[in-house]
Amino acid sequence: MKKVYATAAEALEGLLADGMTMAAGGFGLCGIPELLIDALVKSGVKDITIASNNCGVDGFGLGQLLDTRQIKKMISSYVGENAEFMRQYLSGELELEFNPQGTLAERMRAGGAGIPGFYTKTGVGTVIAEGKEHKDFNGETYILETGLVMDLAIVKAWKADTSGNLVFRKTARNFNAPAATCGRVCVAEVEEIVPVGSLDPDCIHLPGIYVHRIIAGKHEKRIEQRTVREG
């Protein structure tokens, strides 16, 4: 099975459709699949539902898809760095499903593991729990959350071999791994592709069985908020 593609556009060919659902890895601007996001912008696909920790920043990352009005709905845990996100949400142009951060990660992981739902205490007694099933275990109340299974997952890793085994680097690991598993098809962009056998099996973070297509490229790696001491 061919997994290595030359460009992001080629890796997404045949996978995009208006109204599709998508999981996107990354945390803030760390470990975001920026090359694949650029290709999505150029593709013109619209009415997308995206599950991701946040929606990038104005003009970069997933924020570009807000500028082009390609996102219909976001499933997110944090939206605080994007003025256009706030404007579209408050004006009714964008749907938003808030999830606690750990709940969102577990919904992705559960979907990838074939688990349709799970109970959690997080959100009990808040608006997050409205309309959800409540159940008591050992005298504590939990709410039912559903696993996420998306049409497509786009993720960013540090290294891959040609079979799709992935190694993430530091913070980029947290949402990319669960996001990758919950897509019916997963496309990964990496900084380097190495031959099979080059990666230490004990250091592989995501097995290649989850990854269907890979591209390598150069990344901008912006810093979301630069904080320095006065000289």
pTM: 0.92
CB 57 within 8 A of CB 63: yes
Q: How many structural domains compose the chain?
A: 1
**The domain containing residue 93 runs over which residues?**
8-115+148-216
CB 29 within 8 A of CB 223: yes
Residues 45-74: tens digit of each pLDDT: 999 999 999 898 888 999 999 999 999 999
pLDDT under 50: residue ranges of the chain: none
- Is residue 223 a part of any domain in this protein? no
Residues 177-200: tens digit of each pLDDT: 999 999 999 999 999 999 999 999
Residue located via tokens 């919904």 = 107
- Is residue 122 a part of any domain in this protein? no
Of the candidates 65, 75, 80, 79, the residue with the CA atom closest to the CA atom of residue 16: 65
| Rounded CA separation 96/54 (Å) | 11
- Is residue 111 a part of any domain in this protein? yes
CB 50 within 8 A of CB 71: yes
- Is residue 139 a part of any domain in this protein? no
| Rounded CA separation 135/21 (Å) | 29
- Is residue 49 a part of any domain in this protein? yes
Instruction: Tally Cβ neighbours within 10 Å of residue 93.
Output: 13
- Is residue 129 a part of any domain in this protein? no
**pLDDT value for 21:** 98
What is the gyration radius of the CA atoms in the chain, in angstroms? 18
For 49-71, letters b (16+ CB in 10 Å) and e give bbbbbbbbbbebbbbbbbeeebb
Instruction: Tally Cβ neighbours within 10 Å of residue 157.
Output: 28
- Is residue 17 a part of any domain in this protein? yes
- Is residue 227 a part of any domain in this protein? no
Domain CATH code at residue 81: 3.40.1080.10
